[in-house]
Structure 1
Amino acid sequence: MSEPRRLEVLRAIVEDYVHSREPVGSKALVERHHLGVSSATIRNDMAALEEEGLITAPHTSAGRIPTDKGYRLFVDRISDVKPLSAPERRAISSLLEGADDLDDVMDRTVRLLSQLTNQVAVVQYPHLGNAKIRHIEFVLLAPAQVLVVLISTTGRVEQRVITVPEPVTEPDLSDLRQHFLSSLAGTPLSSITGHVAEALATVPAARRRVADALGHSLELLAGINREDRMVMAGTANLARSTVDFPLTIGPVLEALEEQVVMLRLLSEMEQDARGVAVRIGRENPYGGLSEASVVATGYGPDASAKVGILGPTRMDYPNTMAAVRAVARYLSRILNN
């Protein structure tokens, strides 16, 4: 059997099955893909592919569908991830660049990626351990009530209202804000405590009690949500794909809901030379995802957090890989700015 034709037959089976959800027969391949050989030759090729474990016959059907191994060979043979169309790129740019803060960016990212792929989209929050303090703001709400705002280099905004131990004036509060900002700007969130202590050591005694309360509040804000977490969208797409999960869709939904499994999986996935990572079916080490595929890539300055999609193994891998990579690049650009 011709090796190039074998791969071409596999490619055609994957594409037809992804499009139709129906097992693919030799006659349909000859009619749709102009392979230049007879149905009998294609049947021989399909028999060889089945013997290699790349395709299989579901139940008593005369057609064939790809196996996890077949999908893997197909994905590995995708020589390059094609770019999205100009309208798709404009849509990504306009939607993401209109976000107000990091939470809004994350929410828009998963909604957009879910719409582009018709799958479940997930994104890890940037690791706050790598984030630094970008800006601090103190807003006087009442003589002894202050809104404390902390903005990190990841774009995340944390705020809280505190009651200070004694009344403070606008000028004094402005001076304290400038004092903390000059001491803490550029400081990693993970090491804020020591820098706050250094800043407090040089605060005049008359302002020390108020400064202590403000400094403690900044430490608390820096510690919010340091643990890994993710946001997702598009779980309704899974509900419309129940036929792709012949055993049960329950374990997939549980993995998404608990988040720990997905976060661990995303952290373990390593990108290939094309800048994406793909786990197919039983390649996933978590049994609940044995009928699902995950396509992900890193984003941000160090690409340590991931954005990606989860769906059935019967997915449009080329377009999904392109969408995930494009969204990650726009997301990185926005966060870097």
Structure 2
Amino acid sequence: MIINRYLFKEIALSFAATLLVLTLIIVGNTFVRLLADASSGNLPADLVGNLLWFGSLKQLIRLIPVALLIGMMLAFSRLYRDSEMAALRAAGFAPRHFYRAIFSFVLPLTLLLAVLVIVVSPWLESNNADLRREINERPEAAGIPPGEFVSSGTAERNYTALAESIDPSRTVMERFFIRAQDGAKEVLIWAKSAVLFIDSGSGERVLQISDGYRYESDPEQGGMTIIRFGEHSIRIPLRNYSASNSLAAVPILELWSQTDNASQAELQWRVAVIISAPLLALLAFPLSYTAPRQGRYGKIAVAILIYALYASLLATVRGMMERGDFPLLPGLWWIHLLVLGLAFWLLHKYYGKPA
């Protein structure tokens, strides 16, 4: 029991330190990217914190398996370096004793990871999608900062817009002007207010303009039509926007009931994230075997390479499954079997028959 607690502590500390370092790197990169978008006007500055929170939590869930692999490699490499592993083996410790300590930590972690993947991750994706939708409905995201003329388009089809100010809610443009040209046809609109929203059916941006005037030239007759309106809507490509129905936000029970390739691929992907933790833990112990006078960190580089290949295979086959280029069975399961086979082969190579 003393040795089990000692190994548990070593694995837990190495895992926590590795996860912390990886999280700081991911959060730092995400913050820099969001800050660049905010400074260029593509992202409202008041929403940077929310996006950073949701993005960081989502990445944290995906980092748990690789942090477990690297953390275990660091823990066992230190045991080999300090000859503690040799002393334990000499005292009669077999691989099954090490795995007893390993999985006393890994199994609760896997259960936690399952809750995060099944419950928390879809919630994060749903909130992130709502936040992205809100951002795309903001005038700043459409390229209409207050008090500035903005133009876009070609010589034949273009527009120029101006919002004198934006209300405190950052949604309503006050004293709004737009000039749109389509070939020889020219339309001028001035209104007291305008609201930008996303059409749920087409996914296009729509300007809902209230209490204003529309001036439309008639190139054939040479006149102009003036219309006063209370409410007027105009579809205009202020910036490219594509509505995305992310399957990552769909609850797992709903995915289970679907039979299309994309839903089944997403379901297998979520299961893959969960079972990757015990699989990588199973692999980490024999992979960390270090011969006398062998470098401490050489095997860690090998472990990172194996994880990169494992993750790349999962992502590639998942994409093929979504497109229908790969059958749902065996799906992603054969990749997990490869990792399991590699773990047993290394265990037999370095420790002989499991005892």
TM-score by length of 1: 0.32
Higher gyration radius (CA):
2
1 or 2 for the larger relative contact order (CA 8 Å, sep ≥6)?
Answer: 1
Q: Which has the higher helix share?
A: 2
TM-score by length of 2: 0.31
